[in-house]
């Protein structure tokens, strides 16, 4: 599709986020299994449930926008997940591995926050108020997850990994 309008750009960004969320949903169970800190494993399990909700919310947004073709590979997320997997292979200490898991997860969260922040802005500009509201809810949840990961890192994991 030729992207020649803000509306089309928003749709392309939404497709990117949709695939990103699906990739994250696939990666999170592995991350939860790798985590040695109970709070971190639980955070990944909780975020998996939330991520599945994000996928459903995006599907609702696509319906609202009358978009049926959602196929697009999110190469950015693919690279972030691959980079995280490679790091896990290199780190042998369990607490250091948890710190690396948090770092990888936060890179993913920041990618998502950038994407959702952008599409919220586009939706508002285009007067897609309900869409903007739904996307803002996801953005808020991503920010909350990022904050929770920071707290787990700073109060528990990084202290033990030190």
**What is the percent of the chain where pLDDT is above 90?**
91
Does residue 67 have a pLDDT over 90?
yes
State how far the Cα of 139 lies from the Cα of 151, in Å rounded to an integer: 19
Q: Which residues 6+ apart lie within 8 Å of 141 measured at CB?
A: 50, 54
Structure tokens at 121: 């802005």
For CA atoms 157, 147, 110, 52, the dihedral sign is positive
pLDDT in tens, 129-158: 999 999 999 999 999 999 999 999 999 999
> What pLDDT sits at residue 86?
94
Separation CA 7–CA 65 (nearest Å): 10
Per-residue pLDDT, 70: 87
Q: What is the pLDDT of residue 2?
A: 87
Mean of per-residue pLDDT scores for the chain: 96
Confidence of residue 1 (pLDDT cuts 50, 70, 90): low
What does the buried/exposed string (b/e) look like for 127-139 if buried means 16 or more CB atoms within 10 Å of the residue's CB?
A: ebeebbebbbebb
Alpha helices in 66-128 (DSSP H): 75-90, 94-125
pTM: 0.94
Q: Which domains does the chain have, with CATH numbers?
A: 6-66+74-161 (1.20.1260.10)
The tens digit of pLDDT for each residue in 12-38 reads: 999 999 999 999 999 999 999 999 999
In this predicted structure, the answer to whether residue 128 has a pLDDT above a threshold of 90 is yes
Per residue in 71-110, pLDDT tens?
899 999 999 999 999 998 999 999 999 999 999 999 999 9
């Amino acid at each position: 599709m030729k992207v020649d309008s803000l509306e089309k750009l928003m749709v392309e960004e939404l497709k990117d986020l949709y695939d990103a969320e699906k990739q994250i949903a696939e990666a999170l169970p592995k991350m939860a299994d790798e985590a040695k800190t109970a709070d971190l494993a639980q955070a990944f399990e909780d975020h998996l449930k939330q991520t599945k909700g994000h996928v459903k919310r995006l599907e609702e947004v696509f319906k609202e926008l009358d978009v049926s073709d959602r196929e697009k590979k999110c190469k950015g997320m693919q690279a972030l997940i691959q980079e995280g997997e490679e790091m896990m292979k290199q780190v042998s200490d369990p607490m250091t591995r948890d710190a690396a898991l948090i770092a990888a997860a936060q890179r993913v969260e920041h990618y998502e926050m950038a994407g959702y922040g952008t599409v919220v802005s586009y939706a508002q500009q285009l007067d897609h108020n309900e869409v903007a509201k739904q996307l803002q809810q996801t953005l808020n949840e991503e920010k909350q997850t990022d904050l929770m990961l920071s707290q787990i890192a700073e109060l528990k994991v990084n202290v033990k990994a030190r």
